[in-house]
Amino acid sequence: MRDDPLFYVVAGACLLVLVILMTGIGGFAKGGEFNQKYANKIMRWRLIAQLVAVVLLVGFVWLRSKG
């Protein structure tokens, strides 16, 4: 599994989602101007990154099941 480059792409996409999520949670916890200005943008980016990660993950599982 680790010799498959798609595995690293999927792992990177999942880590990107985690980073965006932590940035959003941090901004929400801090509040203030940053949260008011960027909260919706960060949420949109998280949703897009999450969609890409899920599609990559499903594609990876599908390709691995084919042999």
pLDDT at 66: 83
**What pLDDT digit, counting tens, does each position of 26-66 carry?**
999 988 898 899 999 999 999 999 999 999 999 999 999 98
Average pLDDT over every residue of 4-11: 92
Q: How far is CA 38 from CA 1, 21, 28, 64, in A?
A: 37, 13, 10, 38
pLDDT at 34: 87
Q: Identify whether the C-beta of residue 39 lies closer than 8 Å to the C-beta of residue 27.
A: yes
Predicted TM-score (pTM) of the model is: 0.85
Q: In the chain, what are the domain boundaries?
A: 5-65
First to last CA, the chain: 12
pLDDT at 67: 67
